[in-house]
Homo-oligomer: A and B are copies of this chain.
Amino acid sequence: MNEERKLDDRKLAVLRAIVQDYVGTEEPVGSKALVERHNLGVSPATVRNDMATLEDEGYIHQPHTSAGRVPTDKGYRLFVDRLTEVKPLSGAERRAIGSFLDHAVDLDDVVARTVRLLAQLTRQVAVVQYPSLSRSTVRHVELVALTPNRVMLVLITDTGRVEQRLIDCPSAVGETVLADLRSRLNTRAANQRFAEVPTLLQDLPEAFEREDRGAVAAVLTALFEALAEQTEERIVIGGSANLTRFPHDFPLTIAPVLEALEEQVVLLKLLGETADAGMMVRIGHENAYEGLNSTSVVSVGYGSGDETVAKLGVVGPTRMDYPGTMGAVRAVARYVGQILAAS
């Protein structure tokens, strides 16, 4: 606040112009070029003075003396926060999203299409998290006897995901016991949230004969594990070839990014920081993970109805078209949410 006091409207306009031009041209932008392209109504000299103070405040930076200016992370931050609006997509783009996603046949397909779409739309690397189950509910639990001592547990969730587990039981379990267990599991757990399930089933073994309790416990353990593992989410990425669109600072910055993109853990953390509501923009060094220090991440939650079930976003160079990217990310997230709600 105190700092921004020093920045009058024109200086902000200059910063905005610098960001816009730099994003467009990928080259440091000088005072003369600025006044030519934007009608600021002042002379280059004035702009130079403004630039000097902007640089003092750390919003822009010049690579070398007598080069143009380049926005710093702080400059982008101010730009995103106060100098621009999310740019809505064109009607054509909206229709494209719709017609592309509407043809998805199942959850995997929805996610796969979403990631492709996002990558194409933003021309950047897209990251989509599978719908998280921590907030979702159990739709059905199925037990299948493979051999007397082996049971297959299948967990079906309300978002349509399926998780299976092979269980080795300490003792043979009869079909009757299995049927009993199956029905009890479903009565108690169906439509319950994941987090609740362990509590609800805690005392289940007591309902069974002593000799079957070991098997029941094994099944419960497997179920809890499956529930827990579902919370660690899978992530799909796409459009990594877009990274090569920056012939600039090449192998230096691209290698760590590729590495980061292969680390599910890193990506999960990254997306995890997104607030449930609202869009997150992390610019350059704001990213905790070092490999992403020269990239920005735009992410947002999506979900069916009001609830956020997962996040999606894009990773690109700090020099990106923020309004456009944010618009695309938001639009795609909304549409995916609708698809999920409908199915």
Residues of A within 8 A of B (CB): 106, 139-140, 142, 144, 146, 152, 154, 156, 160, 162, 164-166, 238-241, 243-244, 247, 250-251, 254-256, 258-259, 261-262
A152 touches B146 (CB 8 A): no
Q: Which of B144, B244, B247, B250 contacts A156 (CB 8 A)?
A: B144
| Chain B residues whose CB sits within 8 angstroms of the CB of A162 once the complex forms | 154, 162, 164
**Contact present for B241 and A247 (CB under 8 Å):** no
Q: Are A243 and B262 in contact (CB under 8 A)?
A: no
Chain B residue numbers with a CB within 8 Å of A106 are 165-166
- Distance between A120 CB and nearest chain B CB, rounded to angstroms: 12
Most chain B beta carbons < 10 A, residue from A139, A142, A160, A256: A142
Stoichiometry (number of copies): 2
Please, which residue of chain B has its CB at the minimum distance from the CB of A144? B140
Contact with A239, one of B144, B239, B247, B262 (Cβ below 8 angstroms): B262
- Please measure, in the bound complex, the distance between the C-alpha atom of A162 and the C-alpha atom of B146, giving whole angstroms: 14
Set of chain B residues within 8 Å of A146, measured between Cβ atoms: 139-140
Q: Which residues of B contact A166 (CB under 8 A)?
A: 106, 160
Q: How far is the CA of A241 from the CA of B262 in the complex (A)?
A: 9
User: With a CB–CB cut-off of 8 A, which chain B residues contact A240?
Assistant: 240, 258, 261-262
Give the contacting residue for A251; candidates B144, B247, B258; CB below 8 A.
B247
The smallest C-beta distance from A238 to any residue of chain B, in angstroms, reads 6
Q: Is the interface of A mostly helix, strand, loop or mixed?
A: mixed
Specify which chain B residues have a CB less than 8 angstroms from the CB of A239 in the assembled complex: 262
**Within the complex, what minimum Cβ distance (angstroms) separates A105 from chain B?**
9
Cα distance A97–B106 when bound, in Å? 36
Residue of B nearest to A260 (CB): B241
Please indicate the chain B residues that have their CB under 8 angstroms from the CB of A247 in the complex: 251
Chain B nearest CB from A30 CB (Å) reads 27
A162 — nearest CB in chain B belongs to which residue? Answer: B164
In the complex, what residue of chain B is closest to A160 when comparing beta carbons?
B166
A154 partner residues in chain B, CB cutoff 8 A: 142, 154, 156, 162
A142 to B156, CA, bound (A): 12
Q: Within the assembled complex, what's the spacing in Å between the Cα atoms of A154 and B139? A: 14
Closest chain-B Cβ to A52's Cβ sits at a distance in Å of 36
Task: Please indicate the chain B residues that have their CB under 8 angstroms from the CB of A261 in the complex.
Answer: 240
Given A240-B258, A241-B255, A250-B250, 20 more A-B residue pairs with CB atoms under 8 Å apart are A106-B165, A139-B152, A140-B144, A140-B152, A142-B144, A142-B154, A154-B154, A160-B164, A160-B166, A238-B262, A239-B262, A240-B240, A240-B261, A240-B262, A241-B256, A241-B259, A243-B258, A244-B251, A244-B258, A247-B251
What residues of B have a CB within 8 angstroms of the CB of A251 in the complex?
A: 244, 247, 250
A79 to chain B, nearest CB (A): 28
In the complex, what residues of B have CB within 8 A of residue A250's CB?
A: 250-251
Query: Complex Cα distance A243/B156, Å?
Result: 39
Q: What is the CA–CA distance of A319 and B337 in the complex, to the nearest angstrom?
A: 47
